[in-house]
Structure 1
């Protein structure tokens, strides 16, 4: 049996795992900004750009974890992470390893992938259909 034929049936399951892990990590970034958990020095003022980003991270992260409105949520979050990278990380250095933007780039492209791939297995989007 070829490796491709053996692994291909597992792709939707591992897509769902990627979706859930990315959603949980993004959710955590939002709770850190808005709810101060886990404890952080970051306390953005209400309605500031960082605060709005934190709200999007909480709501969008939860939707991604649940696999609910996955494509549209992932589209919004991918754009948000691109903006975050270019506004907050890129100005300090050209190199992501130096400017702390590695996670923003990864989130951006993971969410962009979810726009096209969909939620995978075990999603509320799948149950709604």
Structure 2
């Protein structure tokens, strides 16, 4: 069972990346375009600090992470923006995320930081362009690939 879980790991990581990226994209779209129930039908005025810039990072970074294109760099920027949101907006209100409404910011921050270190997993556009990871990742993937039988 352990071997099968190891073989499925890149796909589970890829699915995690897609879901987190899609949630983040939706969050940015809600703020930028007033869709999906965001901003009570309105949007953030262009160029306002920090809300509009955060929404652009959420939308563009979320798309890149979802697609698995430049995943590590996009995830680093997304993680940093959520750390900023947590410490600048939420943490001054109370110490713990449950008390200050900062749970989404904290969870997104840690999820994106995980992707910085793990890479995109399976089903990423990075892999199509040969930028899918280190040589160690490629060696590990070839070791985990099931044998081809004819």
What TM-score does the superposition give when structure 1 sets the normalisation length? 0.93
Match of 1:18 in 2: 16
Match of 1:100 in 2: 101
Unpaired segments of 5 or more residues in structure 2? 131-150
Task: State the Cα distance separating 1:94 from its structure 2 match.
Answer: 0.8
Classify the secondary structure of the residue corresponding to 2:38.
Answer: coil
Task: State the Cα distance separating 1:44 from its structure 2 match.
Answer: 2.7
* Structure 1 CA distance for aligned equivalents of residues 73 and 38 of structure 2: 29
Is 1:122 the equivalent of 2:117?
no
- Higher radius of gyration, 1 or 2: 2
Unpaired segments of 5 or more residues in structure 1? none
Match of 1:66 in 2: 67
* Structure 2 CA distance for aligned equivalents of residues 13 and 36 of structure 1: 33
Task: State the Cα distance separating 1:39 from its structure 2 match.
Answer: 2.4
| 8 Å contact kept, 2:18–2:67 | yes
Match of 2:28 in 1: 30
Instruction: Tell me which of the two structures has the higher relative contact order, counting C-alpha pairs closer than 8 angstroms and 6 or more residues apart.
Output: 1
User: Which stretches of structure 1, 4 residues or longer, exceed 2 Å deviation after superposition?
Assistant: 39-45
Task: State the Cα distance separating 1:92 from its structure 2 match.
Answer: 1.0
* Structure 2 CA distance for aligned equivalents of residues 112 and 70 of structure 1: 11
Alignment deviations for residues 45-86 of structure 1 (CA, whole Å, 9 cap, x no partner):
321210010011110000000000001000111111100101
Classify the secondary structure of the residue corresponding to 2:47.
Answer: coil
Classify the secondary structure of the residue corresponding to 2:25.
Answer: helix
* Structure 1 CA distance for aligned equivalents of residues 107 and 38 of structure 2: 22
Classify the secondary structure of the residue corresponding to 1:37.
Answer: coil
Classify the secondary structure of the residue corresponding to 1:18.
Answer: helix
Query: How many correspondences in the alignment?
Result: 127
